Amino acid sequence: MISASAALALNHLLNQQGWARERLAAHAGSRIEFGTPPLPSVRLEIGETGLVSAADEQPGDLMVRINPVGLPLLAVRSKQALAFIDMVGPEELAGTVKSLFLELEWDFEEDLSRFVGDAPAHALVQAGRDTYAWQREALERLARNFSEYWTEEQPLLARRHDLEDFSRQLQEFQADLDRVERRLQNFETGPVR
């Protein structure tokens, strides 16, 4: 049931993105099992057209384990999400699945246009994109401001330049200390009168 629902949703996206179906069609007959503990696994089989169908209970050719912590990053197609995904199976199929995780997107405007028409759908989606871009920009500015505050005004964090300078000074100090140590050894082992 879960696999059938997942196949239906994924096929909707694949029908909107012909390039994605072409990539998957190259792996026709392959089976993929997606697991995100503690949720039940989703098992899909790739068809000759690049669309998927629910697969039976046999293990997949490619096992994809997604750490639940990475789901929000995956939802926004962040490359950082890949750090929370483990794949075991054919390398080419794994590469295709990784690229689809990051590149496959829902054409919300196309679906919305079926209900409200093309022009209103475009206006609504553009307003949503503008709002998202504004919020993202505001969050980035806020993060930069906090970073600047903590490194410049209330230096709880060190700037990269300061850390590099400190590291260079530490290396110079270590070299000086090594020279003094060698001199002391030479002094101790010097001629006895």
Q: Is 88's pLDDT higher than 90?
A: yes
The three-class DSSP label of residue 87 is strand
Residue 65 burial (CB count, 10 A): 15
Q: Any idea which of 20-24, 61-65, 109-113, 118-122 has the lowest mean pLDDT? A: 109-113
Burial class (CB in 10 A: 0-12, 13-18, 19+), 14: buried
Asked if pLDDT for residue 16 goes beyond 80, the answer is yes
Model pLDDT, residue 29: 92
The pLDDT value recorded for residue 93 is 94
- Domain coordinates in residue numbering, the chain: 2-103, 108-157, 167-193
Query: What pLDDT score was predicted for residue 73?
Result: 75
pLDDT at 91 over 90: yes
Stretch 113-138: mean pLDDT, rounded?
A: 71
Would you call 86 helix, strand, or coil by DSSP? strand
pTM beyond 0.85: no
Comparing 117 with 15, the larger pLDDT belongs to 15
* Residue 133 CB coordination number (10 Å): 10
What CATH number does domain 2-103 carry, 3.30.70.270, 3.90.25.10, 3.40.50.2020, 3.30.1050.10?
A: 3.30.1050.10
Residue among 83, 100, 84 at smallest CA distance from 44: 100
Closest CA to 99 of 91, 108, 107: 91
**172 pLDDT above the threshold of 70:** yes
d(CA 73, CA 87): 17
Residue keyed to tokens 């026709």:
28
Give me the numbers of helices (H) and strands (E) for the chain, helices first please.
Answer: 7, 5
